[in-house]
Amino acid sequence: MKITGAVLRQSPAPRPYREIRPLDVTTVELADPGFGELLVRIEAAGICHSDLSVINGNRPRPTPMLLGHEAAGVVEALGKGVRNVEVGDHVVLVYVPSCGSCRFCVSGKPALCTTAMAANSAGDLVGGGSRLRSGSEEIRHHLGVSAFATHAVVDRSSAVVIDKDVPFETAALFGCAMLTGYGAVNHTAGVRPGESAVVFGLGGVGLAAVMSAGAAGSWPVVAVDPVREKQQLALQAGASHACGPDELEQLMKKVAPEKFDWAFEAVGLAKAFEAAYAVTGRGGGTVSAGLPHPSEMLQLNPLSIVAENRRILGSYMGTAQPAVDIPAMIALWRAGRLPVDRLVSAEMALNDVNEAMEELAAGRAVRQIIRPHRTVEVSA
């Protein structure tokens, strides 16, 4: 079938993206779903730093590639062998599918699935190869989803069925921003009630960590970002305090004189992780959920790790199990404990995707939502 999608043809691409327009909104051929796959009509797709990281070269990926990985939609067709999902079901799409048989999948760590990681790096689906073409040109999939499009074919393991009353613009965020931030707090760290937390970087993932720490009973929950509007949003989302990086030392004297039990870095810069580590106390843990450029290196005092019983933890996809965690997060959202709706800063058509990327790169946006079926102009 013919679909409309946003294709990146070259990486890294220079800014400003609203002028350079690295994403080409064009007509693409999408094959029918194969064995174990679904055809999903994309109703909402979030614009995430992981998409931006492919455009700016921080996460090298093969091109041309149809970007987008955080989305929700409606199942329109089933491939052979698909179970536990029906046409018409609403689904949240997840950016790490799972083979179900590697040592990580069978031990309850699907975020580390070796088959999925190989497929995602190559721009393939886990069933092998791509389902996207433009004439004779093969288009790669982004993280098994490619959601900046009117439709996507995904592996069954990339889709979690949800209740139909959850708004698509809210549901989409559970697939990446919330899954990553919530998982970092509850699974990677295992924050307990009364433990203190600080979050560096108030994009979608950072704000998800803020509200998840609050829901877990952490206090204080300090949100750190240079943008005042994001600080205010963090306070509305559950932070007890918010400040800029240069104000944190003074604030700590009042609320965390012995430093923090947990620090979460969601910036994607080595210097941000170093700052997070510096404000974590004895016996504490520093969790990185950002995606820095591969060339960046950390400078830390290794003696403090041992002498102070410190922990350094990476958190990919929040160390989560999507089939379990997405329903759990939706339940907390219904109870008012995860105000996910506050993360949405704008909704727009697919034609506006380059402008949205520039807003994200400039640090002005939290979570912009693409509504693909509002698209009215495509290139030939």
Q: What is the mean pLDDT of residues 226-255?
A: 97
Beta-carbon contacts of 191 under 8 Å, excluding residues fewer than 6 positions away, are 185, 197, 213, 216, 217, 218, 261, 262
The answer, yes or no, to whether residue 374 has pLDDT greater than 90, is no
Q: Which residues in 67-78 are b (16+ Cβ under 10 Å) and which e?
A: bbbbbbbbbebb
- The per-residue pLDDT of the chain, averaged, comes to 96
Grade residue 337 by pLDDT with cuts at 50, 70 and 90. Answer: very high
CA distance 30 to 371: 19
Answer yes or no: are the C-beta atoms of 182 and 317 closer than 8 Å: no
Predicted confidence at residue 293, as pLDDT, reads 86
Predicted confidence at residue 19, as pLDDT, reads 96
Q: What is the mean pLDDT of residues 139-159?
A: 98
Cα dihedral 254, 257, 261, 263 sign: positive
- Specify the CATH number of the domain 178-319: 3.40.50.720
pLDDT in tens, 71-80: 999 999 999 9
If we measure between CA atoms, which residue out of 15, 115, 129, 123 comes closest to residue 61?
123
Q: What is the mean pLDDT of residues 101-124?
A: 96
Cα dihedral 362, 368, 373, 374 sign: negative
Grade residue 376 by pLDDT with cuts at 50, 70 and 90. Answer: very low
Answer yes or no: are the C-beta atoms of 38 and 159 closer than 8 Å: yes
The answer, yes or no, to whether residue 379 has pLDDT greater than 70, is no
CB atoms within 10 A of CB 297: 7
Answer yes or no: are the C-beta atoms of 29 and 1 closer than 8 Å: yes
Q: What is the mean pLDDT of residues 161-166?
A: 98
pLDDT in tens, 127-136: 999 999 999 9
The answer, yes or no, to whether residue 373 has pLDDT greater than 50, is yes
3-state secondary structure the chain: CEEEEEEECCCCCCCCHHHHCCEEEEEEEECCCCCCEEEEEEEEEECCHHHHHHHCCCCCCCCCEECCCEEEEEEEEECCCCCCCCCCCEEEECCCCCCCCCHHHHCCCHHHCHHHHHHHHHCCCCCCCCCEEECCEEEEECCCCCCCECEEEEEHHHEEEECCCCCHHHHHHHHCHHHHHHHHHHHHHCCCCCCCEEEECCCHHHHHHHHHHHHCCCCCEEEECCCHHHHHHHHHHCCCEEECHHHHHHHHHHHCCCCEEEEEECCCCHHHHHHHHHCEEEEEEEEECCCCCCCCCCCCCHHHHHHCCCEEEECCHHHCCHHHHHHHHHHHHHCCCCCHHHHEEEEECHHHHHHHHHHHHCCCCCEEEECHHHCCCCEC
Q: What is the mean pLDDT of residues 315-321?
A: 95
pLDDT in tens, 214-230: 999 999 999 999 999 99
The answer, yes or no, to whether residue 377 has pLDDT greater than 70, is no
CA distance 191 to 285: 10
CA distance 2 to 380: 12
Radius of gyration of the chain (CA): 20
2-175+349-374: which CATH architecture? Answer: Alpha-Beta Complex (3.90)
User: What is each CA distance from 290 to 185, 199, 211, 360, in whole angstroms?
Assistant: 14, 11, 17, 15
The distance of Cα 137 from the centroid of its chain, to the nearest Å, equals: 28
In the chain, domain spans:
2-175+349-374, 178-319
Q: What is the mean pLDDT of residues 229-233?
A: 96
Q: What is the mean pLDDT of residues 263-286?
A: 97
pLDDT in tens, 53-66: 999 999 999 999 99
pLDDT higher at 364 or 188:
188
Q: Do domains 2-175+349-374 and 178-319 have the same CATH topology?
A: no
pTM of the model: 0.94
Residue with tokens 């800029």: 244
pLDDT higher at 92 or 291:
92
